[in-house]
Amino acid sequence: SQTIHQWPATLVQPVGSPLSLECTVEGTSNPNLYWYRQAAGRGLQLLFYSVGIGQISSEVPQNLSASRPQDRQFILSSKKLLLSDSGFYLCAWSVIGRAYEQYFGPGTRLTVT
Amino acid sequence: AQSVTQPDIHITVSEGASLELRCNYSYGATPYLFWYVQSPGQGLQLLLKYFSGDTLVQGIKGFEAEFKRSQSSFNLRKPSVHWSDAAEYFCAVAPLYGNKLVFGAGTILRVKS
């Protein structure tokens, strides 16, 4: 069966520091991968999605970036965090051709101080 | 543009009572429709999905949802709520040939004993 992992589970970082969040999927090949951010009371916002290695689509302009160095690995990064980057970050995957049916990881709680 | 409206931010029900969470969508054609549940600090779990066919769909944990084309609605129901159902519930839609889900803002369910 497929599983999706995210780490770290929680993170507290000062403003201006770099960020790296990692997501990996097991038990499937060539998945679509997604990064979402969930701010308190604001639902889920799609940040990036990827349909293959090195293929990243950005949904919202911001100081975050994403990379997909391996088929089942998706990384969310920032060079300098802002206070507004605080939130709950969720990674999700779907089967190619079934992008509408997504499965989510456990999430990373990021607090920027 | 597609949009999803969940008009109730919070709902409180007594344990054992019935539940209905509302979801309305705006889209030119019938999209794929989903309900997800999120326990505090956790990722999202898919409760049920509608693609086509029977407008009443059954999901996990005793939930069901009914698609009503005339009302552009996809309301979630459960005949008898358990305390463990307390969580946040998200309705989502996806276009037939798109790469992403569009989420509603969520409804927080509180269950009182």
Q: How far apart are CA A81 and CA A55, in angstroms?
A: 24
**CA closest to A10 among chain B residues:** B41
CA–CA min distance B98, chain A (Å): 7
Structure tokens at A26: 């097991």
Dihedral sign for Cα A71, A73, A77, A83, please.
Answer: positive
Residues 6+ apart with CB under 8 A from B28: none
Please return the burial class of A31, using the count of CB atoms within 10 Å of its CB with bins 0-12, 13-18 and 19+.
Answer: buried
Q: How far apart are CA A5 and CA A97, in angstroms?
A: 22
Measured in whole angstroms, the distance separating CA A51 from the mean position of its chain's CA atoms is 14
CA–CA min distance B13, chain A (Å): 20
Number of A:B CB contacts under 8 A?
52
Query: Is the distance from CB of A67 to CB of A58 less than 8 angstroms?
Result: no
Nearest to A92 by CA among A51, A39, A32, A43: A32
Q: At CA B82, angle to CA B86 and CA B108, rounded to 5?
A: 20
Direct distance between the N- and C-terminal alpha carbons of chain B, in angstroms, rounded to an integer: 41
Mean pLDDT over all residues of chain B?
91
Looking up tokens 């999120």 gives B38
Return the amino acid letter for A94.
S
CB contact under 8 A, B99 and A99: yes
CB contact under 8 A, A103 and B101: no
**pLDDT tens for chain A, residues 1 to 113:** 889 999 999 999 999 999 999 999 999 999 999 999 998 767 888 999 999 999 999 888 678 999 999 999 999 999 999 999 999 999 999 988 787 789 999 999 999 99
Output b/e per residue, A76-94; b: 16+ Cβ within 10 A.
bebeebeeebbbbbbbbbb
Of residues A62 and B6, which shows the higher confidence score?
B6
- Dump pLDDT digits (tens) for B50-81: 988 889 999 999 999 999 999 999 999 999 99
CA–CA min distance B46, chain A (Å): 7
In chain B, positions 27-56, which contact chain A (CB-CB < 8 Å)? 32, 34, 36, 41-46, 49
